[in-house]
Amino acid sequence: MNQSSSRRSFIQQTGKAGIAFGLSGTILPSLVNASVNTGSSEFAQQPLPYAFNALEPAIDTTTMDIHYSKHAAAYAKALSEACTAENVNTTNTRLESLLRNISKYSTKMRNNAGGHYNHEMFWQTMKPGGSAAPAGQLGTSIIQSFGSFESFKTQFADAAKGRFGSGWAWLIINSDNALAIVSTPNQDNPLMDVSETWGTPLLGLDVWEHAYYLKYQNRRPDYINAWWNVVNWDVVAARMK
Residue among 202, 204, 203, 209 at smallest CA distance from 223: 209
What pLDDT, in 10s, does the model give residues 95-135?
999 999 999 999 999 999 999 999 999 999 999 999 989 98
Q: Are 224 and 157 in contact (CB under 8 A)?
A: yes
What pLDDT does residue 16 have? 36
Q: What is the pTM of this model?
A: 0.84
7-124 folds as: Helix Hairpins (1.10.287)
Question: How far, CA to CA in Å, does 171 sit from each of 3, 96, 145, 156?
Answer: 24, 17, 11, 8
CA distance 99 to 219: 31
Instruction: Give the residue extent of every domain in the chain.
Output: 7-124, 136-240
Q: Which CATH number fits domain 136-240: 3.40.228.10, 1.10.300.10, 3.55.40.20, 3.40.50.300?
A: 3.55.40.20
| Fold agreement between 7-124 and 136-240 | no
Q: Is 201 helix (H, G, I), strand (E, B) or coil?
A: strand
| φ and ψ of 134, to 5 deg | -60, 140
Given pLDDT bands bounded at 50, 70 and 90, which one contains residue 41? confident
What pLDDT, in 10s, does the model give residues 20-35?
333 233 333 332 333 3
Task: Find the helix or strand (DSSP H, E) in which 167 lies.
Answer: strand 167-174
CA distance 85 to 109: 10
What angle do the packed helices 107-124 and 73-85 form, to 10 degrees?
A: 140
Q: Is the pLDDT of residue 165 over 80?
A: yes
Other CB atoms within 10 Å distance of the CB of residue 35:
24
